[in-house]
Amino acid sequence: MTGNGPEPTVERVLRGRGSLPTGPWEVFGEHLVHHEIHYAGRRIELVRGPVATEGYAIRVFRPAGSGTGLGRSSSNDLSPAGLRRAWELAEETARHSVFPATAVELPGGNVSGPGRGPVDPKIRDRPAEALLDFGQWLLNEFPESPNVAPSFGSIRTTYATRSVGNSSGRRGSSVSTLVEFEWAVKATGGPEGTGPGEYWVNRESGRLDPDDLGVDPATWMTRAQDVRRAKPPESGVRRVLFPAEVLRDIVPAVLGYRLSGAAALRGIALAVGSVVASPAVTVVDDPTLPGAVATSACDDEGEAAFPREVVATGTVRGHLVDLVHAAALKVPPTGNGYRPRGTFPPWIRFTNAVAPGPSNLVIRPGDGGDDSELVEATGDGIWLDQLGYAFPDPLAGTYGGEIRIGYRIRGGKVAEPLRGGTVGGRVIAPDGAVSLLGGIRAVGKVPRRNGSFSSPTLLAEGISVAGSRGTGP
C-alpha cells in the first residue's frame, strides 16, 4: 500500500518507540478525518467536522509453551509515555492470551503496488462543501408534496490513511474514502385514512456519488406511500425474490464466518468440497472490487490480498484465513485478516482485534435476467424489498426478520404491497436441508453493490413466510 496522505501513523509509532523490541511484533495505524451532516426533514439539523482521529494498535507474538502468546493494545496517545505504556500492555497481555499456533510467520518487505481503495477527491479536498452540495442536490430531487417528504437523514464521510509495519520489515500505507448514507421518507394524509408510512434507506460506498449510493428519490417516495396501504402476506412456503439490499444483511455475516479460519479452528467451518448452495451460486472474496469499501491491495496485517472463489457452483472451495489462524491450521494465509469497524464511532478500526473474514463478498451474476425478467420467472411469490433486522446467526446459519416492505407477485407481475409477517430459515444447509442459498433457482444478471457486498437479485424457492393466512404454492 502506498498513499499521499499525512505521514503514516506506523512511522510515528516506530520512531517514537526508539529501539524496537526483540521478537515478532506488528503495528497497525489509522489517521481519520470525519465529517457529517444531519437533516430533520428538509432542515439541516447538525453539521459536524472535521473530527480528526489518529490511533494505533500493537501486537506482539511471544513463545508460550506449545502455543503463541498474542499480546495486543491500542491507543491514540502518541506521546513517549503513551507509546511506552502501549508496548508494555501488549507484552503483559501476551503472557495471558495463548493461541494454539507454534509460530506465526509475518510477511516481510514493502507492499508492492499502489493501494486500490476507493478515493473520492471531493471527500479528500473539500469534504464539508461536498456534503452541503450533495445534501442540497438530494433535497432538490424531492418534489414539494403535502403528503410525501423527507423525514430525516444523515450523510457521513471519512478520509482514512492506514498503515502497517512489522518486525519482518513489512511497511505500507494507503488512503481511502468512505460514505455512510442514511435517509428516510414519510408519507401521510390521503383518502385511505391509515397511519403514516416511512421508508428507510441505508447505503455505503467509497464515493459521494448518487449512482454509487443508489439514490432514487422517486422510488423511495412510492415505497413510503405503499407502506401505508400494505397488508401482511399469506403464510406458507413460497418463491421469494431477494435483492442485494436484503441479502447484504443476511449472507456476509453467516457465510463470512462459516468460511473463516476461526470457524475452521473450532471445527464448524463449511468443509472444502461440501455442497452448500445451488449450482447457480458462485461466491468470490474480491478485495479488488471497484468502489467497494473493503477494496485494498492488502489486508490489515499487510498480507497481499487477491480475488478468490470461496464457493464455486454451490461447492466450497476454500477458507478465509489470517496470519494466526493460518499458523494454527498449518495452511498459507489468504490475506483475510481484517479489523472490523467499531460500533461507536463506526468509522474507527484500530481499537478492534484482527479476525479472519471476507473483504468484499461478491455473488457472481448469472443468466436469470434483470429484475423484471426475474419477476416474470417467479410466477407466484413475493418480492422482498426490505426486511427489518434479519438477525443472521453465524453459528446456527439462520436468519429471520419482519417484512418492512415487499410486494406480492401474481402471474409474473408485481401486485399489492406487503408489510408485516416474517421471512426466515437457514442461509446454508450442507446436510441437504432447505436453505436460502440451496433453494436458489435463478441468479440475476445485474449486480448491485452496497458497502462491501455485491450481488444480483436471487430467486429462491422453499422460503418460509409467516403472515396472515393460507399456505401458498
Long-range contacts of 42-48 (CB under 8 A, 24+ apart): 42/139, 42/142, 42/149, 42/150, 44/135, 47/128, 47/131, 47/132
Cell of 213: 449510493
pLDDT the model gives residue 213: 95
pLDDT tens per residue across span 418-472: 999 999 999 998 777 889 999 999 999 999 999 999 999 999 999 999 997 654 4
Mean pLDDT value across the chain: 93
Q: Please report, for residues 16, 25, 124, the alpha-carbon distance to residue 72 in angstroms, rounded to integers and kept in the order given.
A: 18, 10, 31
**What's 333-353 look like in SS3?**
CCCCEECCCCCCCCCCCCCCC
H-type alpha helices, 230-267? 244-247, 251-258, 261-265
HEC states along 163-190?
Answer: EEEECCECEEEEEEEEEEEEEEEEECCC
Q: Which CATH number fits domain 9-229: 3.40.430.10, 3.40.50.2000, 3.30.9.10, 3.30.2290.10?
A: 3.30.2290.10
Rounded to an integer, what distance in angstroms lies between the CA atom of residue 359 and that of residue 325? Answer: 16
CB 197 within 8 A of CB 224: yes
Q: How far apart are CA 115 and CA 3, in angstroms?
A: 7
Grid cell, residue 470, equals 393460507
Q: What whole-number distance in Å separates Cα of residue 154 and Cα of residue 159?
A: 17
Residues of the chain with pLDDT under 70: 1-6, 111-116, 190-193, 469-473
What would the grid cell of residue 230 be? 400494505
Domain ranges of the chain: 9-229, 236-466
Is 24 within 8 Å of 106 (Cβ atoms)?
Answer: yes
Per-residue pLDDT at 230: 95
- Of 423, 434, 346, 438, nearest to 390 (Cα)? 423
